[in-house]
Chain A
Amino acid sequence: MESTQGIPTLAEMSARGEQPEVLFWVGCAGSFDDRAKKITKAFVKLLQRAGVSFAVLGTEESCTGDPAKRAGNEFLFQMQAAVNIQVLNGYGVRKIVTTCPHCFNTLKNEYPGLGGQYEVVHHTSFLKGLLEEGRIKPEGGTFRGKRITYHDPCYLGRANGIYEAPRELLRKLDAELVEMKSCRERALCCGAGGAQMFKEPEKGDKDVNVERTEQALATESGIIAASCPFCNTMLTDGVKGKENEASVRVFDVAELLAGAADL
């Protein structure tokens, strides 16, 4: 296993006989997608700043199987789950944090029935915890008075009832949090879920991400905050499609927090 200073893999830590406080499940988007990699990096900087003992699986991580399951391929999903659970259980992993709500949902809700029992936390909840413990201290200055609107990812919000953690983080930035026409339980999907990310949409009047972006732009916020790499991509594409990329930017909550902590 290739060693990367500062970001230990679970294999390296185990070899040293150490066990991290938490495993950071990076996810495929966070590992490979250029935009999502920035979210991964921002979150890692926050973890390092807070002095969290964490590790990643590195090349031992594999897709959770979420897109396969939602596309109807239960077989492939359960094969992926079996392999991942073997790795996780092999290392005795107890707590997992992830920046992807799809990985979060799958690990938290669908792996237990297949033999993978872990405490799974989404990074917004984890960061909220760090903030409350005083382990990270964002400076409000960067975002003071700026309008930020928050997009609820379906797999974090409706699917798992987490609406407040990301909002509390944004409030800590001293920004003006503005809600879209549909939010929280009634938030509109970005259009990526259920394996839609990997296919062309069906025939219709409009793409879902355009509809959602229009709702976001209607709030006249300079920043659209998301907490899912797929939502991030969909909304970024939407903003570009509306030729608004000069005035409106899409960020992950972790990126905003890292920005405020001057990381």
Chain B
Amino acid sequence: MSFLPNILFAIALVFGIGFFARNIGRLLRNIRLGKVTHPGGPKSERLRNMALIAMGQQKMVVRPVAGLLHIIVYVGFIVINIEVLEIVLDGLLGTHRIFAFLGPIYDALIGAFEMLAGLVIAAVLIFWLRRNVLRLQRFWKPEMKGWPKRDADWILYIECILMCLFLTMNAADYALQQAGTEHYVQAGSFPVSSFISGMMSGLSEGSLVGIERAAWWAHILGILFFLNYLYYSKHLHILLAFPNTYWGKLGPKGQLDNLESVKQEVALMMDPSADPYAAPDAGAAPPEKFGASDVMDLSRIQLLNAYTCTECGRCTSECPANQTGKKLSPRGIMMATRDRLEEVGRKLDATRGVWEPDGKQLLDDYISREELWACTTCNACVEACPVSIDPLSIIMEMRRYLVMEQSAASAELNGMMGNIENNGAPWPFNQMDRLNWAQEIQES
């Protein structure tokens, strides 16, 4: 009987991690629906970006208040997870505070965890107030209605509950240590939970053990729950920020890729010896689709971008179109891409991986043309993203589809493009007048 808790713990652990692994499998399968691209660039620069932007939180502090609070929660999350290692070992082995032999180092560690836990609770509280009491504009945009809003709040509640459980567990433990209860070794320092411990002074040893065990179990089960909540939540960024910043765009932001498929077409057009009536080789691949109308047309990096987005809305709040009341929201573009990708993934689950067109696509069903045409390609969203997401690249791919596959540009844009084709300028001026200004300079 004495091994029952260990066995239950092992089952919970296997189940929690197994379910998480299954979801990660789905996530990777979905990302692999995208096209393989070869972004190139030196690995060292990519690693440096990951170290600075994801690990170093470099772009978070552009907004100092949110940045500082985020760093507290981030450092708290990473450091307190060292404690999770001990909890897992204790759970499996039936030990209690297995790292206690570290002595003063252990005391310092537990003390640091406690202080971080306290700071995390404070930071999470301020985050909640910013969302729900100050009601910062970027958290209340149309795309945040419903699940995205609830998701954001739940993450804060879960984090707060986990920290409270951790402190309650320590408080009861501390009280038991002071009472000299068997099994509760004298270890750790409790700068925060000793205050809670004071409130437990009247409780019997049995009750204290009950509280300690209950908090311990709830804490670790809560962590396993949270781990599995990630896949369904915007909170995936805590994992994906790292690969996403690694694969983030290098080089000047203004540089758009030159489509390879178009390069071939143009080369053919410019080749005087090309036979315009030549039939393609029997084995030739069908011509590539220009641009993107669905998630499968996007690159794997763009799909990773969609899963990484944590819906902070910095992009949207910097977007000139959004600031002036247009429908476009770069965050909305990322959320729509993820929603469509998830829908495609669910359909693939149902059909055992065989894709059957479902009569829907990213364009029109998730992202409207009005949004796509409102973009000024100013790169403000790309600059603002703290985890190197590039919403502009998706907008551009979809414009390419609209113009090159559907000829669906507005009459004004068609006029501009017709002018470039006819007279080499976006306006209908005579090419032979290009140097008129030089004549005027002489006259002035």
Contacts and interface: CB of A to CB of B under 8 A. Distances in A.
Contacts of B410: 199
Interface of B: 62, 251-256, 258-259, 262-263, 265-266, 269-270, 290-291, 318, 320-321, 323-328, 370, 373-380, 382-384, 396, 398-404, 409-410, 412-413, 415-417, 420-421, 424-427, 429, 431-442, 444
Contact of B324 (A65, A113, A206): A206
Task: Report, as a range, how many residues of chain A touch the other chain.
Answer: 35 or more
A26 B424 CA distance: 13
Nearest to B379: A158
A114 B255 CA distance: 13
A150 interface: no
Contacts of B328: 202
Nearest to A83: B424
A2 B437 CA distance: 13
Nearest to A70: B377
A81 B378 CA distance: 22
Given A72-B400, A75-B266, A206-B325, A155 B254 contact: yes
Nearest to A182: B318
Contacts of A195: 413, 416
A7 B223 CA distance: 73
A205 B398 CA distance: 25
Contacts of B373: 199, 202
Contacts of A82: 266, 270
Given A41-B444, A44-B441, A191-B320, A114 B258 contact: yes
Contacts of B416: 67-68, 71, 195, 198-199
Interface of A: 2, 4-7, 9, 26, 28, 30-33, 37, 40-41, 44-45, 56, 58-59, 61-63, 65, 67-76, 78-82, 105, 108-110, 113-114, 154-155, 158-161, 185-186, 188-189, 191-208, 210-212
Nearest to B375: A194
B437 A37 contact: yes
Nearest to B251: A109
A114 B431 CA distance: 24
B432 A59 contact: yes
A63 B424 contact: yes
A154 B379 contact: yes
Contacts of A160: 252-254
Contacts of A65: 420
Contacts of B259: 74, 78
A107 B396 CA distance: 19
Nearest to A27: B425
B290 A32 contact: no
Contact of B252 (A37, A109, A206): A109
A109 B374 contact: no
B440 A37 contact: yes
A30 B433 CA distance: 12
A203 B326 contact: yes
A71 B324 contact: no
Nearest to B412: A199
B244 to A, nearest CB: 20
Please give me the 6 A-B residue pairs with the lowest Cβ-Cβ distance, nearest first. A159-B254, A205-B325, A72-B399, A194-B377, A62-B424, A72-B403
A75 to B, nearest CB: 5
B362 to A, nearest CB: 15
Contacts of B426: 28, 63, 67, 197-198
A84 B437 CA distance: 21
Contacts of A202: 321, 326-328, 370, 373-374
Given A192-B376, A193-B377, A204 B324 contact: yes
Contact of A78 (B262, B321, B413, B421): B262
Given A73-B404, A198-B415, A204-B326, A7 B438 contact: yes
A68 B426 CA distance: 9
22 contacts: A7-B441, A26-B434, A26-B437, A28-B425, A31-B435, A41-B437, A44-B438, A44-B441, A68-B417, A70-B396, A70-B399, A79-B421, A154-B380, A158-B378, A159-B255, A193-B376, A193-B378, A197-B426, A199-B410, A202-B374, A206-B325, A210-B324
Given A78-B262, A201-B326, A31 B403 contact: no
B258 A74 contact: yes
Contacts of A207: 324
Contact of B420 (A5, A76, A199, A208): A76
Contacts of A70: 256, 377, 396, 399
Contacts of A9: 435
Specify which of B265, B401, B413, B434 lies most central, judged by the most chain A CB atoms within 10 Å of its CB. B434
Contacts of A69: 256
B380 A74 contact: no
Contacts of B427: 28, 32-33
Nearest to B415: A198
Nearest to B416: A198
B425 A32 contact: yes
B263 A114 contact: yes
Contacts of B378: 154, 158, 189, 193-194
B265 A6 contact: no
A78 B420 CA distance: 12
A74 B425 contact: no
Contact of B409 (A4, A61, A73): A73
Nearest to B254: A159
Contacts of B254: 105, 109, 154-155, 158-160
A78 B263 contact: yes
A158 B434 contact: no
Contacts of B377: 70, 154, 193-194
A110 B377 CA distance: 15
A194 B270 contact: no
Contacts of A44: 438, 441
A188 B323 contact: yes
Given A31-B437, A72-B396, A194-B378, A105 B252 contact: yes
Contact of B404 (A67, A74, A191, A196): A74
Given A68-B417, A114-B263, A211-B323, A78 B404 contact: no
